[in-house]
A and B are shown apart, each in its own frame.
Chain A
Amino acid sequence: MEEHDKQHVTSYYTNGVILVVLLFLTFFSVFIAEFDLKALTLFVAISVATVKGSIVVMNFMHLRYEKKFTKYMVLGVFVLFAIVLIITFFDYWFR
């Protein structure tokens, strides 16, 4: 019983609202892709995807309710990937 108290119960309503936000962002990114934003196209698409991804990780994957340690662990992995990406590109930029 006590274990149950520790767990967070996300309401059906909250889950529904999160889906609506995610769908809105999806249609927004499809809509904005119709315009020629030149160099910004990639930036906008990746930004919207990152926001959507964060919403999924924080809410659907319940990271919001996990311990601080788990949160930093997940954040650390994404930072690690960003570092790998940047270091790889240093190689290609200054070749």
Chain B
Amino acid sequence: MSDHEEHVIDRESGTMGMWLFLFTELFLFGGLFLVYAVFRYMHPAEFHEAGLELDTFVGTLNTVVLLISSMTVAMSITAVQKKNNALALGLLAITTILALVFMVNKYFEWTHKFHLVIYPGSPVLENMERGELLFYGLYFIMTGLHALHVIIGLIVLFFAGYGIMKGTVTSERTLLLENAGLYWHLVDLIWIFLFPLMYLIT
């Protein structure tokens, strides 16, 4: 009985602790969204011009890829709860592949910008209007920080997958996988807001 009670408390505090951590992440990006909002308010025309340079197709593709990967992570939790570990691992493997697709897209997107000599501190960027300079600064910082979170999310998911294989994540003990999932969904959540602000509002 006491064992069971401890287990329940463990689960609840574990979920709450994860959410508290996610709040700090939300405000890390929230601060950048705030800066974006203010600069966009001050330089509306230049943000419009600079936003046109971004490829909406690549942005949309990456949105679709991240949304599907969120679903596969959510499904892997269902699979573990239904004691279907092989399926759970398969779904996590698909998530990994989708995350890599996202990163490869991002790689091509950024290298394309580098070819146009658009990168922080580049001579082309320095001769641009102030608003455009600010837009690209935020673009590189925000998508870069987001991409870093994709990589961290992958590492966290890897540990959850390892837990499934080792038997520390089971249908009775899903907390590690659930928290890894929460982190992954946060990455998706941030992209849901980044995508329209960078690629769509032009």
Q: Does A68 contact B (CB under 8 A)?
A: no
The residues of A with any CB-CB pair to B shorter than 8 Å are 1-4, 6-7, 9-12, 15-16, 18-19, 22-23, 26-27, 29-30, 33, 41-42, 45-46, 48-49, 52-53, 56-57, 59-62, 66-67, 70, 73-74, 77, 81, 84-85, 88-89, 92
Within the complex, the shortest CB–CB distance from A89 to chain B, in Å, comes to: 7
Chain B residues with CB under 8 A of A30: 56, 60, 200
DSSP majority for the A interface? helix
Tell me whether A49 and B202 are in contact in the complex, defined as CB-CB below 8 angstroms, given that A9-B78, A60-B185 are known contacts: no
Chain A residues with CB under 8 A of B189: 53, 56-57
Q: List 26 A-B contacts (CB under 8 A).
A: A7-B81, A9-B81, A10-B78, A12-B78, A15-B71, A15-B75, A18-B71, A18-B74, A19-B68, A19-B71, A26-B67, A29-B196, A30-B56, A33-B196, A33-B201, A45-B201, A49-B193, A56-B185, A57-B189, A59-B74, A61-B185, A62-B178, A70-B16, A81-B27, A84-B34, A89-B37
Q: Does B109 contact A (CB under 8 A)?
A: no
* Chain B residues within 8 Å of chain A by Cβ, number: 50
Within 8 A of A (CB), among B61-75: 63-64, 67-68, 70-71, 73-75
Please, what's the 1-or-0 string for B1-43, where 1 marks a CB less than 8 Å from any CB in chain A? 0001001100110011001000100110010001001100110
Within the complex, the shortest CB–CB distance from A71 to chain B, in Å, comes to: 10
- B193 adjacent to A53 (CB under 8 Å): yes
Q: Does B165 contact A (CB under 8 A)?
A: no
Chain B residues with CB under 8 A of A27: 60
Tell me whether A41 and B41 are in contact in the complex, defined as CB-CB below 8 angstroms, given that A16-B71, A23-B67 are known contacts: no
- A88 adjacent to B201 (CB under 8 Å): no
Q: Does B100 contact A (CB under 8 A)?
A: no
* Bound: A34/B39 CA distance, A: 24
